[in-house]
Structure 1
Amino acid sequence: DCQAVTEALHTYGCLIIKDPRVNAEQNNKFLDQMEQFFHRRS
């Protein structure tokens, strides 16, 4: 629902999407990569 997405971004500044095709291991690997990226930029 586009309205719900718009409201979440406006209210919270972020959006969480759960994709059932992605398992926990893949999700953790992605989060680790994002943490490393932002740690290097700070």
Structure 2
Amino acid sequence: MWVVTIFEKNTVRMFEFVSKTEANNMLASVKGSAILSFTK
């Protein structure tokens, strides 16, 4: 599972994806700080 974590002023949001392609598409649209990680 791929996870995109978005860091905002006072919150942290996490989105889960099955494919890396979907996660990368989401990550590309984020305008602030974010990371992409993989977990089993």
TM range (shorter): 0.3 to 0.5
Q: Which has the larger radius of gyration?
A: 1
Q: Determine which structure has greater relative contact order: mean sequence separation of CA pairs < 8 Å that are 6+ residues apart, divided by chain length.
A: 2
More helix by share: 1
More strand by share: 2
TM-score between both structures, scaled by the size of structure 1: 0.32
TM-score, structure 2 normalization: 0.33
